[in-house]
Amino acid sequence: MPEGTIDRAVFEELKLTAGADFVSELVDTFLSEAPGMLAELRRALEASEADRFRRVAHSLKSNSNTFGASELAAMARELELGGFAAARENGGEPLSALAHEYGRVAKELTELKRA
Amino acid sequence: MREGSYGGARLLVVDDNKVNRLLLTRNLELMGLKVTSAENGRVGLDMLRRDSFDLMLLDIEMPEMDGFQVLSELAKDLELRDLPVIVTSSLEGLENVVRCIELGAEDYLTKPVNPALLKARIGACLEKKRLRDQQKELVRRFANAEVAQDLQQTGFSLGGKRVRGSVLFADIREFTPLAESQPPEETIELLNTYYTLMFNAISGHGGIVSQIAGDGLMAVFGAPLPLADHCDAAVRTALEMIELIELFNVEQAAGAKPQIRIGIGIGSGEMVAGYTGTNERATYTCIGDTVNVASRLEAHTKATDTPILIDGETRTGLRGDISVEGLGPVAFRGKAQTVEVFGVKPPRTR
């Protein structure tokens, strides 16, 4: 597992303050919500809805930070801050990179919540 | 870490993101708070208007109605403008924080919210809310609904504005010998009953009690809110006061207690209304020539043996069914021009 997918300190702190069982449920919620967000980002890009794009990226950033998914949060933040134009220029490539990173995050979170 | 120090306090969490909503709710419930949540500003605002909450945690980026819009709506709403709001957002840029505070948010927390910080801010906010509620209650008790609302709308500031209105002074005749003739406890009880009756008459006609001192009181009609028939309202108040005193005297007589008589003076015209005093202690009052005339008229009732005296401008503002008697011009101490004085006849003694 490469470095930096999930910041363990952040995740442990979350478990400590909110409770392990609750965090496990929260991870499930995130894993069921996030694919929809990724899809909505792509739809917003195709429909040229910059505002919606920014809002969804913002939401994804916020959730990534909650679980300590630092890299995913950084990518989402870049999309939030003027990433719409960049994503369009690069034919949606940043969204593919984002989806890839999300895949790694999802895998690790699933393992961590069992631990 | 379960704790009930804010037990019973009701919070509303407004956030469009489900993970954020669940996590915030969880953290707050662990603090012993009762939490309700809404998924956007529109839904949140509806809940606030339907139900009562002590504090709101508000996200900014939301579909339908965002946090900025919610804050603007709250500021316009008299019922909700005092609800403390903590903005929780991961919005980029200091200008957004500034905008939230300018729109009236109490505090701003960056997401993900640190639970310890959240707890401290909520504690501070609820304490502030408690003090504010207490203060509102005090203002309500010692001023009245109009002044309290005026204070809430415009904020507290010393200084006045010019208004047209009527001022009423009332005083118990020969109060000192009366007070000396009975135990102090009975005098206090008598004053309390007297003020209760007079306050009812005054507020019933749209006036406010500006000052009370000993056995005297000053009431204002037409400030802080304009009152179309302020002259008529003031005189009808005076008539009701006389009538209430008569009823009160019947009761006093039944208990073999002393009778009281009052004198009332009313002046109308322009005056300066506002808060005078210091920032620590101030009263809502009116000053100006109109006030002086009303005070002099009240004192003059002793000389004329007429319980209600009014000036010419007050008389002009009366509607049909009140009968007055011209008593001619009177030169009052400290006034260059004479004042036309009219006596109002209470219907019963006519």
**Distance (Å, whole) CA B232 – CA B207:** 11
Instruction: Judge whether B150 lies within some domain.
Output: no
**Distance (Å, whole) CA B221 – CA B130:** 32
Contact present, B270 and B288 (Cβ < 8 Å): yes
Residues B131, B177 share a domain: no
Instruction: Judge whether B201 lies within some domain.
Output: yes
pLDDT tens-digit series, residues A62-97: 999 999 999 999 999 999 988 888 888 887 888 999
Which ranges constitute the DSSP H helices of A5-92?
8-18, 20-46, 50-67, 70-80, 83-89
Instruction: Judge whether B344 lies within some domain.
Output: yes
User: In chain A, which residues have their Cβ closer than 8 Å to the Cβ of B111?
Assistant: 62, 65-66
Is residue A27 classed exposed, middle or buried when 0-12, 13-18 and 19+ CB atoms within 10 A define those classes? buried
Q: In this complex, is the C-beta atom of A77 within 8 Å of any C-beta atom belonging to chain B?
A: yes
Region of residue B54 (left: phi > 0; alpha: psi -120 to 50; beta: else) = alpha
Instruction: Judge whether B49 lies within some domain.
Output: yes
> Which are the contacts of B19, defined by CB distance < 8 A and separation ≥ 6?
A26, A29, A30, A33, A63, A66
**Distance (Å, whole) CA B123 – CA B129:** 10
**Distance (Å, whole) CA B76 – CA B316:** 39
**Cβ neighbours of B103 (radius 10 Å):** 18
Residues B298, B246 share a domain: yes
Residues B116, B214 share a domain: no
Task: Say whether A22 and B26 touch across the interface (CB within 8 A).
Answer: yes
Q: Please report the pLDDT score of residue B278 as a whole number.
A: 57
Residues of chain A numbered 19-58 and touching chain B (CB < 8 Å): 19, 22, 25-26, 29-30, 33, 55, 58
Shortest Cα–Cα distance, B81 to chain A (Å): 27
Domains contained in chain B, number: 2
Residues B193, B250 share a domain: yes
Instruction: Judge whether B48 lies within some domain.
Output: yes
Per-residue pLDDT of chain B (350 residues; tens, 9 = 90+): 334 456 678 999 999 999 999 999 999 999 889 999 999 999 999 999 999 999 999 999 888 899 999 999 999 988 888 899 999 987 777 788 888 888 989 888 888 888 888 888 898 888 888 877 776 666 655 555 666 666 556 555 555 678 899 999 999 988 878 888 888 888 888 888 888 888 888 988 989 888 887 788 999 999 877 888 999 999 999 999 999 899 889 888 888 888 899 999 999 999 888 766 655 565 677 888 899 999 999 999 988 888 999 999 999 999 878 889 999 899 888 777 889 999 998 775 43
Q: How long is chain B?
A: 350
CATH level 2 (architecture), domain A8-114: Up-down Bundle (1.20)
Q: Please report the pLDDT score of residue B70 as a whole number.
A: 96
Contact present, B28 and B35 (Cβ < 8 Å): yes
> Which are the contacts of A38, defined by CB distance < 8 A and separation ≥ 6?
A60, A95, A98, A99, A102
Q: Please report the pLDDT score of residue B145 as a whole number.
A: 60
Q: Write the DSSP string, B30-61.
A: HTT-EEEEESSHHHHHHHHHHS--SEEEE-SS
Contact present, A2 and A107 (Cβ < 8 Å): no
Residues B188, B48 share a domain: no
Residues B138, B169 share a domain: no
Residues B334, B225 share a domain: yes
Name the domain boundary from B109, B142, B175: B142
| Helix-strand-coil split of chain B, %, nearest 5 | 45, 25, 30
Instruction: Judge whether B1 lies within some domain.
Output: no
Residues B331, B206 share a domain: yes
Q: Give how far the C-alpha of residue A35 lies from the chain's centroid of Cα atoms, to the nearest Å.
A: 9
pLDDT band at A2 (very low <50, low <70, confident <90, very high): very low
Residues B199, B50 share a domain: no
Residues B96, B174 share a domain: no
Handedness of CA B125, B129, B135, B136 (dihedral sign): positive
Structural domain for B53, as ranges: 10-142
Residues B111, B32 share a domain: yes
Shortest Cα–Cα distance, A65 to chain B (Å): 6
Q: Please report the pLDDT score of residue B190 as a whole number.
A: 85
Task: Say whether B61 and A55 touch across the interface (CB within 8 A).
Answer: yes
Q: Which residues pair with B211 in a beta bridge?
A: B218
Task: Say whether B22 and A81 touch across the interface (CB within 8 A).
Answer: no
Residues B126, B61 share a domain: yes
Instruction: Judge whether B259 lies within some domain.
Output: yes
pLDDT tens-digit series, residues A57-70: 999 999 999 999 99
SS3 B269: strand
Give this prediction's pTM: 0.56
Cis peptide before B84 (omega within 30 of 0): no
SS3 B339: strand
The domain that holds B75 is classified in CATH as: 3.40.50.2300
Instruction: Judge whether B280 lies within some domain.
Output: yes
